[in-house]
Amino acid sequence: MKIIYKVDFWYFSFLFLLVTLPILAPILSAIGLHIISEKIYFLFSFFCHQFDTRSIHIFDYQYAWCARDFGIWLGVLTGSVLYKIKFLKPIKIWWLPIFIIPIALDGGIQTITTLGAINPFGIIQGDDFYVSNNLFRFLTGSFLGLGVALFIAQNIVEANRYTKIEVIREQVRALLPQKLVENRLIASLYNTNWKRIVITMLLLLLIYFCLIQVWDLSSHGHKPINSLDSIPKIQHDYFFIRRLHGECPTDRDSGLFNFECLL
């Protein structure tokens, strides 16, 4: 049992860092702690393209994750927590394609068309066939992360046996009119895993909306296009430009990682 709890602790700690460090990096930059924030940006640059046009911002600095990668890891963390408290149930492997297809279409098509438009000098020529937006990137990423969490969490996380969710459900039922309680459609709202997954996605959408509002309120030079940042933004003509609104931005001379960040 102690081993299980240790695995739980390290698993959730790892996910917590993957979600919070990318947000902490721009906050540290905003308050002048550049020596720390640039190390965070540099670390995450090995796992994310860090295009500023595809990232959520705060205080005019972009997250260390792009919107899609941030959505993925937030989805994994959220799914794991909700599985832990027995709100969500695990899924079988044959359900995974449902979670993969949206991100494969949204991200895959854009990646292929973008790479096809790059010349040997790193210049992006012509308009992309398909350009996504940060809302779609976040939703498809978080949906994938949620599915991955519900598939792997059953092998990592020990679901708690307490019935807190059951108690809350009974309290809600006691407040509802008897006819609503007896209605099968209403009663089945929380009784299927897929409906709970939909509710979870609505929660993640609400979180995204709040993050965009924080971005809008905290920034002056680089603001979201609208309340959901849902309009596509064309990437810079130069493919090697990364972290333009973060620490240690890159170009063709510095390379994709800019190892000067380590100095």
Domain ranges of the chain: 2-166+192-262
Q: What is the pLDDT confidence band of residue 258, given thresholds at 50, 70 and 90?
A: confident
More confident site: 119 or 38: 38
Round the average pLDDT of the chain to a whole number and report it: 83
pLDDT of residue 109 exceeding 70, the answer is yes
Percent of the chain beyond pLDDT 90? 55
Q: What is the pLDDT of residues 204-230, one digit of tens each?
A: 999 999 999 999 999 998 999 999 999
pLDDT digits (tens, 9 = 90+) for 181-204: 555 555 555 568 899 999 999 999
Place of tokens 């959730």: 12
User: Band of the pLDDT at 163, cuts 50, 70, 90?
Assistant: very low
Backbone angles phi, psi at 233, to 5 degrees: -120, 130
Q: Greater confidence, 258 or 136?
A: 136
Identify the pLDDT of residue 185. Answer: 52
| pLDDT band at residue 161 under the 50/70/90 scheme | very low
CA 112/CA 124 separation, integer angstroms:
13
Buried b (16+ CB within 10 A) or exposed e, 50-84: bbbbbbbbbbbbbbbbbbbbbbbbbbbbbbbbbbb
Q: Which of 2-6, 53-57, 101-105, 247-251 has the lowest mean pLDDT?
A: 2-6
Which one is predicted more confidently, 32 or 247? Answer: 32
- The pLDDT value recorded for residue 217 is 97
Statement: residue 117 has pLDDT above 70: no
221 secondary structure, DSSP code:
S
**Residue 124 phi, psi (nearest 5):** -85, 115
Residue 180 predicted with pLDDT over 60: no
Residues forming a β-bridge with 57? 62
Residue 101 has pLDDT above 50, yes or no: yes
pLDDT for the residue 251 = 73
Q: What is the pLDDT of residues 7-56, one digit of tens each?
A: 788 899 999 999 999 999 999 999 999 999 999 999 999 999 899 999 99
Between CA 2 and CA 111 the distance in angstroms is: 44
